Amino acid sequence: ISEGEKRLIRWHLYVAYIALAVGIFFGLLQVLSRAKLLPPTPLYDYYQGLTFHGVLNALVWTTFNIVALLAVAVRASLGRPLYSPALGWTGFGLMTVGVAAAGYAILTRQANVLYTFYPPLMAHPAFYLGATLLIVGSWVSGANLILTYVAWRRENPGQRTPLMTFGSIVVFVLWYIATLGVAIEVLFLLLPWSLGLVKQTNPMLARTLFWYFGHPLVYFWLLPAYVAWYTMVPRLAGGKLYSDPMARLAFLMLLIFSTPIGLHHQYADPAVGQEWKLLHAFGTFMVAIPSLLTAFNLMASLEYAGRQRGGRGWVDWIFRLPWGEPAFAGATLSMIAFIFGGISGIVNASYNVNLVVHNTSWVPGHLHLTVGTAVTLTFMAMATWLVPYLTGRALWSRKAALANVYLWFVGVMIFAVGMMRGGLEGEPRRTNLGFSPYLLPEWRPFLIMAAVGGTLMFIAGVLFLLNMAMTLWFSRQPAAVEVPISEALHTAAEAPLAFERWRVWLAVAAVLIVIAYAPVITQVLQVSSFSAYGYLPSSAVPIR
Residue 24 touches ligand HEM, criterion: CB under 6 A: yes
Strand, coil or helix: 477? coil
- For residue 522, the number of C-alpha atoms closer than 13 Å in the C-beta half-sphere is 7
Contact in structure between 35 and 15 (CB atoms under 8 Å) = no
Which residue of this chain has its Cβ atom nearest to ligand HAS in the complex?
342
Residue 280's binding partner out of ligand HEM, ligand HAS, none, with CB under 5 to 8 Å set by partner kind: none
Whole-number Å distance between alpha carbons of 164 and 292: 20
Residue 75's binding partner out of ligand HAS, ligand HEM, none, with CB under 5 to 8 Å set by partner kind: none
Q: How far is the CB of 461 from ligand HEM (least distance, A)?
A: 5
Instruction: From 153-161, 178-186, 342-350, 499-507, give the range in contact with ligand HAS by CB under 6 A.
Output: 342-350
- The string of DSSP codes covering 379-412 is HHHHHHHHHHHHHSB--S-HHHHHHHHHHHHHHH
Strand, coil or helix: 121? strand
Residue 421 touches ligand HEM, criterion: CB under 6 A: no
Whole-number Å distance between alpha carbons of 330 and 332: 6
Whole-number Å distance between alpha carbons of 347 and 269: 18
Residue 27 touches ligand HEM, criterion: CB under 6 A: yes
Residue 420 touches ligand HEM, criterion: CB under 6 A: no
Q: CB-wise, 321 or 390, nearer to ligand HAS?
A: 321
Instruction: From 121-129, 343-351, 472-480, 497-505, give the range in contact with ligand HAS by CB under 6 A.
Output: 343-351
Using CB under 6 A, which residues numbered 357 to 396 contact ligand HEM?
364, 367-368, 371-372, 376
Q: How far is the CB of 307 from ligand HEM (least distance, A)?
A: 34
Q: How far is the CB of 218 from ligand HAS (least distance, A)?
A: 4
Q: Which of 1, 136, 183, 336 binds ligand HAS (CB under 6 A)?
A: 336
Q: CB-wise, 393 or 429, nearer to ligand HEM?
A: 429
Cα pseudo-dihedral 340, 345, 350, 353, rounded to 10? 70
Q: How far is the CB of 16 from ligand HAS (least distance, A)?
A: 16
* Residue 529 φ/ψ region, left for φ over 0, alpha for ψ in the -120 to 50 degree band, beta for the rest: beta
Q: Which of 50, 189, 263, 298 binds ligand HAS (CB under 6 A)?
A: 298
Q: How far is the CB of 26 from ligand HEM (least distance, A)?
A: 8
Whole-number Å distance between alpha carbons of 419 and 413: 10
Residue 264's binding partner out of ligand HAS, ligand HEM, none, with CB under 5 to 8 Å set by partner kind: ligand HAS
Angle at CA 351, nearest 5°, toward 348 and 356?
A: 60
Number of residues in contact with ligand HAS under rule CB under 6 A:
35
Instruction: From 46-54, 149-157, 263-271, 320-328, give the range in contact with ligand HEM by CB under 6 A.
Output: 46-54
Amino acid making up residue 184? I
Q: CB-wise, 279 or 380, nearer to ligand HEM?
A: 380
Whole-number Å distance between alpha carbons of 121 and 534: 6
Please state whether beta strands 488-490 and 200-201 pair in parallel, antiparallel, or not at all (unpaired): unpaired
Number of residues in contact with ligand HEM under rule CB under 6 A:
28
Q: CB-wise, 307 or 430, nearer to ligand HEM?
A: 430
Whole-number Å distance between alpha carbons of 130 and 183: 12
- Identify each DSSP E strand in 466-522 by its residue range: 488-490
Kindly tell me the sign of the dihedral angle through the C-alpha atoms of 309, 314, 319, 325.
Answer: positive
Residue 534 touches ligand HAS, criterion: CB under 6 A: no
Which residue of this chain has its Cβ atom nearest to ligand HEM in the complex?
27
* Residue 114 φ/ψ region, left for φ over 0, alpha for ψ in the -120 to 50 degree band, beta for the rest: left
Burial of 61 (0-12, 13-18, 19+ CB in 10 A): buried
Whole-number Å distance between alpha carbons of 342 and 360: 18
Q: CB-wise, 193 or 230, nearer to ligand HAS?
A: 230
Q: Is the peptide bond before 260 cis (omega within 30 degrees of 0)?
A: no
Q: CB-wise, 100 or 318, nearer to ligand HAS?
A: 318
Q: How far is the CB of 54 from ligand HAS (least distance, A)?
A: 7
Q: How far is the CB of 517 from ligand HAS (least distance, A)?
A: 17
Whole-number Å distance between alpha carbons of 404 and 409: 9
Strand, coil or helix: 180? helix
Residue 510's binding partner out of ligand HEM, ligand HAS, none, with CB under 5 to 8 Å set by partner kind: none
Residue 295 touches ligand HAS, criterion: CB under 6 A: yes
Whole-number Å distance between alpha carbons of 508 and 502: 10
Whole-number Å distance between alpha carbons of 125 and 256: 33
- For residue 394, the number of C-alpha atoms closer than 13 Å in the C-beta half-sphere is 8
Using CB under 6 A, which residues numbered 105 to 164 contact ligand HAS?
116
Which residues have CB under 8 Å from 445's CB, separation 6+?
none
Q: Which of 99, 106, 186, 222 binds ligand HAS (CB under 6 A)?
A: 222
Residue 24's binding partner out of ligand HEM, ligand HAS, none, with CB under 5 to 8 Å set by partner kind: ligand HEM
Residue 53's binding partner out of ligand HAS, ligand HEM, none, with CB under 5 to 8 Å set by partner kind: ligand HEM
Contact in structure between 248 and 495 (CB atoms under 8 Å) = yes
Residues of this chain that interact with ligand HAS (CB under 6 A) are: 116, 218, 221-222, 264-265, 284, 287-288, 291-292, 294-295, 298-299, 302, 318, 332, 335-336, 338-339, 342, 345-346, 348-349, 354, 358, 363, 366-367, 370-371, 375
Residues that bind ligand HEM (CB under 6 A): 24, 27-28, 30-31, 34, 50, 53-54, 57-58, 61-62, 114-115, 364, 367-368, 371-372, 376, 429-431, 454, 457-458, 461
